[in-house]
């Protein structure tokens, strides 16, 4: 038996060509801060009376699946694959003026089967490698915080792990820092490009797929994991300066379009492009504004917000990832 630390493990993902059929190799090996891939099961207990005081005679497994959790830095190449799984649709095209840089536009697929992945886990400590077919993103949370790399936490559901033989090969990716963030609000999405930046202290954004296990007779493993209602919610913090920054339109119930743009201008890709992940929310409503006041602290405000589907734009969210990948 080997003992060691979590740094020895490796995790990776591939887009599945056939839903629920595990890929043979990874597209990305992903550096991580935390990872877990836990086998789960549900059991039924035989509590029938057999003429004795004891409460049960046996227990049987009726369902098996896996739950995967990952915490990592937002990167320009591998992270968009999780966004594709969460939202469901991607279209790739050359970035304007470039020959090797691509824009990947990620939008919500109007189906209950968003893109599935295969998750790979290399565990040299246990001398056991596993691949998890039919991995689907259950939730994806982004954390934009001062003084830290921009981070995400992903939760996935998958089929029970199958043994694999893996050889991890990690490559460096471009990451994003707090100074790479531009946050904008406008009356509508068309006005975001020209809108001035709004200064904020921190931001959290959560995408939730509300996954339902497709359990059927004749199988211990769910035959699918189906996404139901698609939601995006978040929270932001800003210094309190005046009521017009957030309070006025929050209390009036005024809708806003929101842009959360990560652009690493320290790195040039192609001729003159930069790694970028830009999230546009077409219709956002703010609520639960709080302004706790402490006598020795600078006054701050926190607000909750929820994204809604814009009927006029026929969208809730549009994400564009710019990198050197030709496709996803």
pLDDT attached to residue 103: 98
pLDDT attached to residue 7: 87
In the DSSP assignment, the letter for residue 266 is T
**Do residues 277 and 176 make contact, with C-beta atoms less than 8 angstroms apart?**
yes
Annotated domain spans of the chain: 6-41+63-323
pLDDT attached to residue 3: 79
Per-residue pLDDT of 247-257, as tens digits, reads 999 999 999 99
Classify strands 151-158 and 128-145 as parallel, antiparallel or unpaired. antiparallel
pLDDT attached to residue 177: 98
pLDDT attached to residue 4: 80
Report the C-alpha gap between 131 and 152 in whole angstroms: 22
DSSP reduced 3-state for 216: coil
- Output the pTM of the full model: 0.94
Per-residue pLDDT of 266-317, as tens digits, reads 999 999 999 999 999 999 999 999 999 998 989 999 999 999 999 999 999 9
Query: What parts of the chain have a pLDDT lower than 70?
Result: 1
């Amino acid at each position: 038996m080997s003992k060691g630390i979590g740094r020895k493990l490796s995790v990776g993902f591939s887009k599945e060509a056939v839903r629920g059929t595990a890929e043979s190799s990874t597209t990305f090996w992903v550096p991580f801060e935390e990872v877990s891939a836990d086998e789960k099961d549900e059991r039924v207990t035989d509590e029938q009376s057999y003429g004795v005081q004891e409460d049960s005679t046996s227990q049987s497994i009726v369902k098996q699946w896996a739950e995967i959790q990952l915490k990592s830095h937002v990167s320009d190449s591998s992270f968009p694959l999780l966004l594709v799984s969460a939202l469901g649709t991607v279209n790739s095209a050359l970035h304007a003026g470039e020959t090797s840089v691509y824009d990947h536009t990620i939008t919500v697929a109007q189906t209950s089967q968003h893109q599935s992945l295969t998750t790979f886990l290399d565990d040299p400590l246990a001398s056991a490698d596993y691949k998890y077919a039919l991995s689907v993103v259950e939730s994806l949370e982004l954390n934009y915080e001062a003084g830290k790399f921009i981070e995400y936490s992903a939760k996935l559901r998958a089929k029970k792990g199958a043994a694999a033989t893996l050889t991890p090969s990690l490559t460096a990716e471009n990451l994003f820092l707090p100074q790479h963030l531009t946050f904008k609000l406008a009356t509508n999405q068309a006005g975001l490009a020209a809108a001035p930046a709004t200064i904020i202290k921190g931001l959290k954004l959560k995408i939730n797929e509300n996954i339902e296990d497709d359990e059927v007779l004749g199988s211990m493993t769910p035959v699918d994991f189906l996404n139901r209602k698609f939601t995006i919610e978040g929270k932001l913090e800003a210094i309190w300066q005046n009521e017009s920054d957030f309070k006025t339109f929050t209390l009036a119930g005024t809708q806003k379009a929101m842009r959360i743009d990560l652009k690493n201008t320290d790195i040039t890709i192609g001729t003159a492009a930069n790694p970028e992940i830009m999230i546009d929310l077409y219709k956002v409503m703010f609520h639960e504004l709080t302004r706790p006041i402490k006598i020795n602290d600078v006054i701050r405000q926190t607000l909750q917000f929820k994204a809604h589907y814009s009927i006029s734009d026929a969208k809730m969210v549009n994400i564009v990832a710019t990198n050197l990948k030709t496709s996803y």
